[in-house]
Structure 1
Amino acid sequence: MIYLILFLISFLLTYFIKNYMIKKSLVATINERSSHTVPTPHGGGIALSITWFIGLFYLYFIGEIQQSLFYALLFGAVISIVSFFDDIYDLSPKLRLIVQAIVSVGGLYFLGGFETLTFGIFDIQNQILANIFAFLLIIWFINLYNFLDGINGYAGSEAVFLSLAGFILFGGNHFLVLAVAVLGFLYWNWNRAKIFMGDVGSTLLGYNIAIFTIYYANQEATNFWIWIILFGVYWFDATLTLIRRKLNKEKLSQAHKKHAYQRLTQAGWSHYKVTNYSIGLNLGLFIIVYFIGNIFVALILALIVLALSMKFVDTKKVFE
């Protein structure tokens, strides 16, 4: 019953925010990075964020979430609030990075740090190195989720997939809370989007995925790679695109439309088709994780699948 209530809260909040934004003419402008051609209201992430934190508090008060995870996830409210103002006032990149750094440190503090990074044949257990790595990971996940929030249903469907995959593999009602919070928004963002998520939603989702990755890796070191595989569609695209642009001697701070999902839309694919393609890839990655017991064999296979998918995108639209 609580999940239905949370879904309705997210659904109705998104509806009212959409209407308010339209009434106030607060719509996303079309620029060189946009994959949209029609000005559309943004800020739908406010609804999923509010719903998410309501659900978090509910789980905390009934004792269904560990205290360390609760506080680490709750600290995400900081980046959600700052991103809300960024959506409105376009804050400076330096200020955003400072906030991301503060949130990353806070999240790690509540989790008790990052214990071990395993590579199968050897482990990194040095707390300084492990936590520097985790700090950078959180910042990277926050930003790459924001980078890849660009077409209808793409960021929302990724969050729902990760939530459901997390619930199946690890249990934990926090995954169901996140899933229904996003689904209420996704109804209005799917196929022909009536509202966008905005940074207020995308940065929070990226932060949450990073916290889940570290939290479950602290329970079992190889869980780190499970989350890396599950989140592969996003980090592989964002990381490879960054490397390619660097090799092209491009200014990395400059806006671009070279991510895989952007190139597919340029090749004539609809947003709906691209999002469904990503869902199919995600299901493939989940099957790999679920059925292959050796996580490092699963990782290699997942990387092959991701590399082949990128080769396919290159055949549709060459990376220039």
Structure 2
Amino acid sequence: MLVQIPVTAIVLALGLALLVTPLVKKYAFKVGALDRPDQRKVHQRVMPRLGGLAIYVSFIAAVLLTMDITLQVCGLLVGGTLIIILGFFDDTRGLSPRLKLAGQIIAAAAVIPFGLEVNSLTNPFSNEMPILLGYLSIPVTVLWIVSVTNAVNLIDGLDGLAGGTSFISALTLAGVVWIETTTSGVFPGQSEAVALALILVASIVGFLRYNFYPAKIFLGDSGSMYLGFSLASLSIMGMAKSATFISVIIPVVILGIPLLDTVFAIVRRYCGRRPIFQPDKEHLHHRLIQMGLSHRQAVLSIYGVNVVLGLSAIVLTLISPKQAVIFLVILSTVILMAANKIGVAGTGGQAPIVPQPNKQQRS
């Protein structure tokens, strides 16, 4: 069984995103979904957010009009709808971190009855004997989805950053699952995961036309949470049935930038005895600008790292497990050294601070 490229769905999602985003921009002004500049933020003027609504509408419409709605696809749509509603209220009214977290947990749990669940983990010592999670499957699934949702949400600090990162991650995910299907056969959900990931890619590309620097509209929490939620769910759909231990690591590599930035933020705030949920300006994109990069250069630099991680994920699917372990050790060492050098790891590294003129700020 071969995976079919959903050309019609891709074209439809791209076209809808290009058409719907300007309408969502006007709607954001109407309902007061506006992002106002403050000391922590980079942009200097009031900007409409709620851009995630455009991606959601484009993706949902393309899926409903062109794909068979299986149980897992239905779960993705239901969970995505819940997360976009949560993001809508956060973008228009503002929600407390605890309330947002509760909503994310509900949305993540909602996909489980539809078969989107991590039931087992592959055993690194025996691919023939997977580790069954049993009662732990639900908390593990919820933890993964909520973690990725918040990780993408946290990196949404520069024009086009979260959208571009999600674009590269979704494209890589489609490529990795495609390779898995040709080497191991198609498992239930894998062909759907490829199609859905490519439709998501098209929706993001259409939105990035208006979101890349200088942005005309922001993703908002609705968009960054929706993208994170979708990527996490698609990784479960596409990779959970794979038989190799490395397949457990691949989604982490694909989503390396947002996940690592989140981990470093937690470590940084813990070591500094600050609340975990307290925002700061020490994320990767902030540090790159403080080092002297322009807004565009910082975003493109992170895109480049994402591409490298994406290619690394593809390499992991093509080499032996022993080679993959060595590759992962080298990759992890390089990442930790770079993070410490830039100053995002909270382990003592400090990047040089260069004052930036306003024209390089998010606007």
Cα deviation digits, residues 257-311 of structure 1 (max 9, x gap): 1111112123332221111111111221122222342343343233223223313
CA distance in 2, matches of 1:28, 1:126: 42
Is 1:216–2:235 an aligned residue pair?
no
Contact 1:147/1:238 (8 A) holds in 2: yes
2:329 aligned partner: 300
Task: Kindly indicate whether the alpha-carbon contact (under 8 Å) linking 1:245 and 1:252 is maintained by their aligned counterparts in 2.
Answer: yes
Whole-Å Cα distance in 2 between the matches of residues 24 and 128 of structure 1? 43
Match of 1:30 among 30, 37, 62: 37
Per the alignment, do residues 6 and 37 of structure 1 end up closer, same or farther by CA in structure 2, a change over 3 Å counting?
same
| TM-score normalised by L of structure 1 | 0.90
CA distance in 2, matches of 1:265, 1:39: 21
Deviation of 1:88 (Å): 0.3
Q: 1:87 aligns with which of 91, 96, 112?
A: 91
- Please say if 1:14 is aligned against 2:18: no
Q: 1:110 and 2:114 equivalent? A: yes
Tell which deviates more after alignment, 20-29 or 36-45: 20-29
Identity of aligned residues (%): 25
The counterpart of 1:310, out of the listed 339, 342, 351, is 339
Structure 2 Cα separation of the partners of residues 58 and 305 of structure 1: 44
One-letter code aligned to 2:152: Y
**Paired residues of 1:163 and 1:178 also in contact (CA < 8 A):** yes
* d(CA) in 1 for partners of 2:148, 2:80: 13
Q: Aligned-pair distance for 1:115? A: 1.6
Letter in 1 for 2:14: F
Q: Which moved more, 1:117-126 or 1:205-214?
A: 117-126
Structure 1 counterpart of 2:268, which letter?
R
User: 1:196 aligned to 2:196?
Assistant: no
| Runs of at least 5 residues in structure 1 that lack an aligned partner in the other structure | none
How much does 1:119 deviate? 5.7
CA separation of 1:54 and 1:47: change in aligned 2, threshold 3 A: same
How far apart are residue 101 of structure 1 and its match?
1.3
Partner of 1:252: 276
Matching residue's letter, 1:33: R
Instruction: Indicate the SS of the match to 1:193.
Output: coil
Whose radius of gyration is greater, 1 or 2?
2
**What is the CA distance between 1:85 and its match in structure 2?**
1.4
> Following TM superposition, by how much is the alpha carbon of 1:97 offset from its aligned partner in structure 2, in angstroms?
2.0
Give distance in 1, aligned partners of 2:134 and 2:161: 36
Q: Is residue 127 of structure 1 aligned with residue 113 of structure 2?
A: no
Task: Name the TM-score, length of structure 2 as normaliser.
Answer: 0.80
* Distance change (3 Å), C-alpha of 1:317 and 1:66: farther
SS in 2 for 1:282: helix
Q: Secondary structure at the match of 1:118?
A: strand
Q: Distance in 2 between matches of 1:194 and 1:22?
A: 12
What stretches of structure 1 move > 4 A for 4+ residues in a row? 22-26
**Equivalents in 1 of 2:292, 2:97: separation in Å?**
32
1:150 is paired with a residue whose SS is coil
Is the 1:164–1:179 Cα contact (8 Å) retained in structure 2? yes
* Residues 166, 227 of structure 2: 8 Å contact kept: yes
Give the paired residue count: 315
Distance in 1 of aligned mates of 2:156 and 2:65: 28
The Cα of 1:26 is off from its aligned counterpart by: 4.7
Q: Which has the higher mean CA deviation after the structures are superposed, 38-47 or 286-295? A: 286-295
Determine if the alignment matches structure 1 residue 153 to structure 2 residue 177: no
- Structure 2 regions of 5+ residues with no counterpart? 1-7, 179-193, 344-349, 354-363
3-state SS in 1 of match to 2:111: helix
Judge conservation of contact 1:35–1:265 (CA < 8 Å) in 2: no
Match of 2:82 in 1: 78
Report if the CA contact (8 A) 1:27-1:41 is conserved.
yes
Corresponding residue for 1:40? 47
Amino acid paired to 2:291: A
- Partner Cα distance (1:309, 1:111) in 2: 39
Alpha-carbon contact 2:33-2:50 (below 8 Å) kept: no
Residue 264 of structure 1 is matched in structure 2 by 288
**How far off its partner does 1:39 sit?**
2.0
After TM superposition, give the deviation of residue 74 of structure 1 in Å.
Answer: 3.4
Q: CA RMSD in A?
A: 2.2
Residues 136 and 26 of structure 1, relative CA distance in 2, 3 Å threshold: closer
Contact conserved, 2:12 with 2:62, CA < 8 A, in 1?
A: no
Pairwise CA distance, 1:37: 1.9
2:171 alignment counterpart: 164
Q: Does the 8 Å CA contact 2:35/2:49 hold for their aligned counterparts?
A: yes
Could you tell me how far apart the structure 2 residues matched to 1:26 and 1:79 are?
Answer: 16
Instruction: Supply the AA of the counterpart residue of 2:238.
Output: Y
Deviation of the 1:22 alpha carbon: 4.8
C-alpha deviation, 1:131, in angstroms: 3.0
d(CA) in 2 for partners of 1:270, 1:74 = 39
State the alpha-carbon separation in 2 of the partners of residues 110 and 305 from structure 1.
Answer: 39
Q: Which amino acid aligns with 2:284?
A: A
